[in-house]
């Protein structure tokens, strides 16, 4: 893993949450139809590399250059990682930490 790319924040109303974060100085990076019928809203502070996503659930998305090698290395350490999903937005593989927090590997 080379960086934290997106922190997914669970929100009840994505549009209201977007307005709140806009008032804090965040900017919309992406607003587009999501894979499950919801709108994907990704926001960031000007000049920052890490962004937030206003989502239906919590998660941290970490960028990786080689998702297959990363999944294999984590497996060798006894860390279970889900299957790699290929999407138009990249390749994703989810895992959970010891407390059930969702982490995701993403290869662009």
| DSSP track, 26-43 | -EEEEEEE-TTSSEEEEE
pLDDT at residue 84 in the model = 97
Domains of the chain: 3-107 (3.10.180.10)
* pTM assigned to the model: 0.89
pLDDT at residue 36 in the model = 74
Q: Provide the CA 59 distance to its chain's centre, in angstroms.
A: 6
Structure tokens at 31: 């607003």
Residue 18 and residue 51 in contact, taking contact as beta carbons nearer than 8 Å: no
Backbone angles phi, psi at 71, to 5 degrees: -60, -40
Q: What is the pLDDT of residues 44-65, one digit of tens each?
A: 999 999 999 999 999 999 999 9
Q: What is the pLDDT of residues 20-36, one digit of tens each?
A: 999 999 999 999 987 77
- Interval 10-15 mean pLDDT: 96
Structure tokens at 106: 């993403």
**Which of the four pLDDT bands, split at 50, 70 and 90, describes residue 37?**
confident
Radius of gyration of the chain (CA): 15
């Amino acid at each position: 893993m080379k960086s934290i790319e997106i922190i997914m924040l669970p929100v009840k109303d994505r549009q209201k949450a977007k307005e709140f974060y806009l008032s804090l100085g965040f900017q919309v990076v992406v607003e587009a139809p999501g894979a499950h019928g919801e709108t994907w809203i990704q926001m960031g502070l000007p000049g920052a590399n890490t962004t937030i996503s206003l989502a239906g659930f919590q998660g941290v998305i970490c960028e990786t250059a080689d998702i297959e090698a990363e999944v294999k290395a984590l497996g060798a350490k006894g860390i279970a990682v889900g299957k790699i999903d290929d999407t138009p937005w990249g390749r994703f593989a989810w895992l959970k930490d010891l407390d059930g927090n969702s982490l995701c590997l993403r290869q662009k």
